[in-house]
Amino acid sequence: MLEARGLVKSYRAPTGPPIRALDVVDLKVPAGHLAVVLGASGSGKSTLLNVLGLLEDADSGEILLGGERVSALRRSARSRARGRHVGFVFQSFLLLPSLTALDNVLLAGRYAGRRGPDTRRRARELLAEFGVAEREQHYPPQLSGGEQQRVAFCRAVLNDPPVLLADEPTGNLDDANGRVILQSLHARARAGAAVVVVSHRADAVVGADAVYRMHHGRLAAGPPIPEGETR
């Protein structure tokens, strides 16, 4: 279960008053649910994802992971909580160019304290599941965008995190690769993870348990979208 209560986040603007990226946001995503956040560019949806994933601090409000108030943890404890409980899928993949595909996946295990042969075997299984097993010794610049995102997805789920956050995961992919990633996100939700997807793609909402719209830092809930329908 991922829960956010009263999140507020402002950024200083070069001129004028601060920009309120999150304006008292509440969100609850139960385990096994997939929530989609839609919104225009600059509406605050990426900020929401960063704050939910402990990648940056909110000015006020709190985040709970499995009932634990992780936003109150000290920085190192927050890092550890992030490594163990949260998986990220970024629009620009964010693979480390100096590491092979396999080592990029294993990086998530390293910081979660999982370095053994089981972790390596699991990483290889994931790469095989996503059709990039034969590319495990390739470096990111040697992979296509779709392959990079699949490797990034493997990295995000290596530790089986109870929370999976995806920021425009299909933004840089063609339709076919985009579908693979979206299906995988749904599969993680069905496997019990709380999944939050920020996307501008209409087909991202298909099958979602909840759809939210962000506008000027405010989050408004909409009804769930049935399979086969596009809002």
Closest approach of other proteins to the CB of residue 127, in Å = 17
CA distance 111 to 131: 25
Detail the DSSP E strand segments found in 40-76: 60-65, 68-69
Q: Please, are residues 53 and 165 in contact by the beta-carbon 8 Å criterion?
A: yes
Closest approach of other proteins to the CB of residue 76, in Å = 4
Q: Measured from the CB atom, is 29 or 105 closer to other proteins? A: 105
Nearest to 200 by CA among 231, 155, 161, 156: 231
CB atoms within 10 A of CB 98: 9
CB atoms within 10 A of CB 212: 21
Residue listed under structure tokens 């964010």:
94
Q: Measured from the CB atom, is 93 or 130 closer to other proteins? A: 93
Closest approach of other proteins to the CB of residue 137, in Å = 11
Closest approach of other proteins to the CB of residue 57, in Å = 7
> In a 10 Å sphere around its CB, with 0-12 CB exposed, 13-18 middle and 19+ buried, how is residue 228 labelled?
exposed
Closest approach of other proteins to the CB of residue 175, in Å = 25
CB atoms within 10 A of CB 135: 19
Q: Measured from the CB atom, is 44 or 207 closer to other proteins? A: 44
For residue 123, give the H/E element and its range: helix 117-129
Binding site for other proteins (CB under 8 A): 50, 53, 55-57, 75-76, 79-80, 82-84, 88, 90, 92, 94, 96-98, 107-108, 111-112, 155
Closest approach of other proteins to the CB of residue 111, in Å = 4
Closest approach of other proteins to the CB of residue 185, in Å = 18
Q: Measured from the CB atom, is 111 or 179 closer to other proteins? A: 111
Q: Measured from the CB atom, is 64 or 107 closer to other proteins? A: 107
CB atoms within 10 A of CB 201: 20
Q: Measured from the CB atom, is 50 or 149 closer to other proteins? A: 50
With a CB cutoff of 8 Å and minimum separation 6, the contacts of 90 are: 152, 167, 169
Q: Measured from the CB atom, is 97 or 228 closer to other proteins? A: 97
